[in-house]
Chain A
Amino acid sequence: KQEVTQIPAALSVPEGENLVLNCSFTDSAIYNLQWFRQDPGKGLTSLLLIQSSQREQTSGRLNASLDKSSGRSTLYIAASQPGDSATYLCAVDISGGGADGLTFGKGTHLIIQP
């Protein structure tokens, strides 16, 4: 059974710092990995999607990497801002969009101090 773990569970840093969020998964047979952001009481906003054949994806100040063989992904946030405060969720797709849906970690709760 696929399990996804996110470390740290919570993180608080001053504004302007660069930071790294970690995600690990137990079964390397994934189709893709997706990072999401969730604001309190809200739904999920997709940040980055990495295909299993890719090593990284970038969007603005965000960079996500994938090492499928070791079962790891990182989300790098550059020059953090208070508006980045949210919970960040990592999810893997093991069935190519089919009967298993996405398997999520519990998330990293991020606070950026002004």
Chain B
Amino acid sequence: DTGVSQDPRHKITKRGQNVTFRCDPISEHNRLYWYRQTLGQGPEFLTYFQNEAQLEKSRLLSDRFSAERPKGSFSTLEIQRTEQGDSAMYLCASSLGPPDYGYTFGSGTRLTVV
């Protein structure tokens, strides 16, 4: 069990560019979640996968945001046409299936849009 891995740790991009983040969950965890955290706030839920199925995506912040989990293993979060307001920490979490099991979070990807 190597934990939840996120790549890259930091990303600086120019406004208008597209960015993609990767999350590798704990291997036996079938549930995967993406969150966004802005300064001074708690993480905000974005989307949820069970295996390869994206079961909740209405909380993605706009249609510029999309996520995939093609084979039920790793996941990617893409932001198109980035804006300065997208600057935040993007966190990935995985779980075996609450409520009996909690969530394990990765170290996050810090996005700065300049």
Contacts and interface: CB of A to CB of B under 8 A. Distances in A.
Interface of A: 4, 31-32, 34, 36, 41-46, 49, 51-52, 89, 91, 93, 96-107
A45 B18 CA distance: 29
Interface string B37-79: 0001111111010000001100100000000000000000000
Nearest to A109: B40
Given A98-B55, A99-B56, A102-B43, A43 B91 contact: yes
Contacts, number: 78
Contacts of A102: 33, 35, 43, 45, 93, 103
A52 B55 CA distance: 24
Given A42-B107, A46-B102, A98 B56 contact: yes
A93 B99 contact: yes
Contact of B103 (A42, A46, A99): A46
B97 interface: yes
A42 B55 contact: no
Contacts of A105: 42
A97 B99 contact: yes
Contacts of A45: 105
